[in-house]
Amino acid sequence: MNMNNSHESKIKWGILGTGWIASQFARDLAHAQNAERFAVGSRTKESADQFAENFNFAHAYGSYEELLANPEIDAIYVATPHPFHKENVLTCLRAGKAVLCEKPFTINAAELEEMISYAKENKLFLMEGMWTRFLPPIRKVREWLQAGRIGDVKLVKADFGFRSDWNPEGRLLNPDLGGGALLDAGIYPISFASMVLGAKPEKIMSTAHIGETGVDEQFSILLSYESGRTASLNGSVRLNLTNEAYIYGTDGYIHIPSFLNSKSASLFINGEEVETFTDDRTSIGYVYEAEEVGRCLQEGLTESSIIPLEESLGIMKILDEVRGQWGLRYPFEK
C-alpha cells in the first residue's frame, strides 16, 4: 500500500460495478473520514463515466482489468451480483488490492474458502460487506450485551422480508443469478443471529416455500445452540415482514426496529424501557463499513474483528446446510 503508514492518508477506493448498491456505497463514501472516492470500473466505459460524474470519482474505466491496473487504488468494493463475487474478488486479490465484498460474500462455503485461502496466503485484506454490523445502534447493542445488561441471552428473533415485483428473469427470482430469499434477504437475520449467538449452532432446522422459478420465495429457520439458546429467523422476497429484531435475555430484552438499516435500539429491563439509542446520521450507513476497512488497512490488519473471515465462513456454511435441507442448488454450482 502506498500510504507511508500515515494515519492521515486517505484510502483510495475503487468500485467494481455500477449498479444500485454501488451507488449507495459511493454516495456514503463522501461521509468517510479516511476515504477518497478515486476510481470506478464497469463493463462499459459509458457506464463508468456516468457513475464517476454522478459521484465525483477521479477515474473511470470501461473494464475491471483497467480498474485493477491502477496502482494507486488501495481498496476495492465489489458491488456485482453474488454469483460473480468469487471471480471478481479473486481477480482483485490477484491484483494485490484490499477487498470489501458486498454480502452475501459468495454463493456457497466452498467459494468463500477459496477466497479466504488466497487472501491469507498473500496477506491481503478481505471483508464481507455486511453493513448492518457496523451501524452505531448495532454497535450499541453489542455494548449492552457485553455488559450483561439483559442477563443471559436465550432467544434471538429477526425477520427480513419484502414483496418484490413478479419478475422471473430478475435477480431475485432467477436461479441462474443465485436468486431466492435466503441469500438476498436471509443473510441479514442469519448474520444478526451469528453476531449474538455465534456462527456454529448445534442444530439447524428450516422450511421454505420454493416458488415456480425454482428458488425459495419464503423461509423459516430455527437455530439451536448450547445452553438452550435459540434463534428464530424468517425471510422473504414475496412478503412484507416487519423487519424487526429482538434479543431476549434472563433480565430483559433489546428491540431493534428495521434492524438491517437500524436507526435506533431500545433496552428493556423487567418490561420497562430503560435506555434508547438513536442514531441521527445523515449518511445512509455504508460509511461505517468503509471506515472500518480504512482503519484496518492503516493498522496493517488483514481482516476485521467485527466480522472476521471465520465467522463469515460459518454463516455461509449455515446457508449451505439450509439450502441442502430444501434440495436447492443453483444451476451453475458444481
What would you report as the CA-atom Rg of the chain, rounded to the nearest whole angstrom?
Answer: 20
CB 243 within 8 A of CB 260: yes
C-alpha cell at 163: 414483496
Q: Which residues are registered as beta bridge partners of 221?
A: 206, 233
Residue 103 known to be catalytic: yes
Count other C-beta atoms under 10 Å from residue 274's C-beta. 11
Evaluate the CA torsion angle 195, 197, 203, 206 in order and state its sign: negative
> Which of left, alpha, beta for 283 (phi over 0: left; psi -120 to 50: alpha)?
beta
Select which of 97, 103, 157, 317 is catalytic.
103
Contacts for 144-148 with beta carbons within 8 Å, 24 or more apart?
A: 144/254, 144/265, 144/267, 144/275, 145/196, 145/247, 145/254
In whole angstroms, what separates CA 122 from the centre of its chain?
Answer: 23
Residues with catalytic roles: 103
